A = this chain, B = another copy of it.
């Protein structure tokens, strides 16, 4: 497992900005959120450029694309394999360092005829902010 594939990717100002912004946050922004961030520095950047670069960066293994349900893909500069939790109220996504000492892939191999590659553990719940809001409203 190498972090980046051996394809050398050209580093453009746009790509660097996108990567910098993504690295600087611990949220898991969607493409449009990154577009808004980068636009502060590069007002003329195109939304298409953001999408294309997020694709290229995740294909290269430099960032990861996370698909936690909902309609939009999210991105994470932390490529370690960690679980995520999505707030059912506001849709925000947080990291989760759960260490469950189980060989998930092995368990699955015994239960189906697929060639099992990987697993993903995803949680849903209510984030601290929405918990507070709910308390106020009640």
Contacts and interface: CB of A to CB of B under 8 A. Distances in A.
Contacts of A85: 108, 112, 114, 116
B98 A107 contact: yes
Interface residues of A, number: 39
Interface in A24-71: 67, 69-70
B96 A112 contact: yes
A137 interface: no
Interface stretch (A5-13, A14-22, A124-132): A124-132
Given A67-B69, A119-B121, A122-B122, A107 B100 contact: yes
Interface of A: 67, 69-70, 83, 85, 87-88, 94-100, 102, 104-105, 107-108, 110-128, 131
